Amino acid sequence: MISHSRRGVTGPQTPCAIVLGCSDSRAPAEIVFDQGLGDLFVIRVAGNIVAPSQVGSVEFAAERLGTRLVVVLGHTRCGAVTATLEDLQRPASNQSWNMSSIVSRIRPSVEGLLETELRHDHELLIDRAVRANVRASVNQLRHGSDVLELLIRRDGLRVVGAEYSLETGVVDFFD
Ligand SMILES: [Zn+2]
């Protein structure tokens, strides 16, 4: 017997959105957006970075499942973004290659901020860096895949950035 919560999820999945979110334990997309089984196609990775397997996952859901909305969901106080800023300020020699592969994908979008006055305001620096990192992931999804570019141009696929506030629980959509 299928329990109540599983009814309707044994057929083909038809998620209403694809979410690329951070692995942070305080930011699970389904709970943030109050969605249930089968509603969201979620990809989670520290720092909501875009690497080939993330692009491939988005391509799969957009192409095969027909989902037409992609949300890159960053969040306030992101540890991966904070670690990247710390690494830029005080490079750690003992960082594993695997963790470096995450930091190196966040670095290009945030390192310019350290050359501004923001470097004197730790909280504001992290805040701006989180948003810059979300925008970078949005741009990489919009322009880093022929499959997605075609779906955007021809089939109305939308890729948007958003930030979840751990403090208020509110999701701020950028555009
Ligand atoms: Zn995070």
Tens of pLDDT, residues 55-100: 999 999 999 999 999 999 999 999 999 999 999 998 877 889 999 9
Cα of 135 vs centre of ligand 1, distance in Å, is 14
| Euclidean distance between CA atoms 16 and 131, whole angstroms | 24
Q: How far is the CA of 83 from the centre of ligand 1 (A)?
A: 10
CB of 81 within 8 A of CB of 106?
A: yes
Q: What are phi and psi of 171, to 5 degrees?
A: -100, 120
- Ligand 1 center–CA 158 separation, angstroms: 23
Give residue 74 CA to ligand 1 midpoint distance, Å: 7
Contact between 41 and 7 (Cβ < 8 Å): no
| Interval between CA 122 and ligand 1 midpoint (Å) | 16
Strand partners, 43: 20
Residue that is written with structure tokens 């993330």 in the block? 54
By three-state DSSP, how is residue 172 classified? strand
What are the structure tokens assigned to 3, written together? 């329990």
**pTM of structure:** 0.94
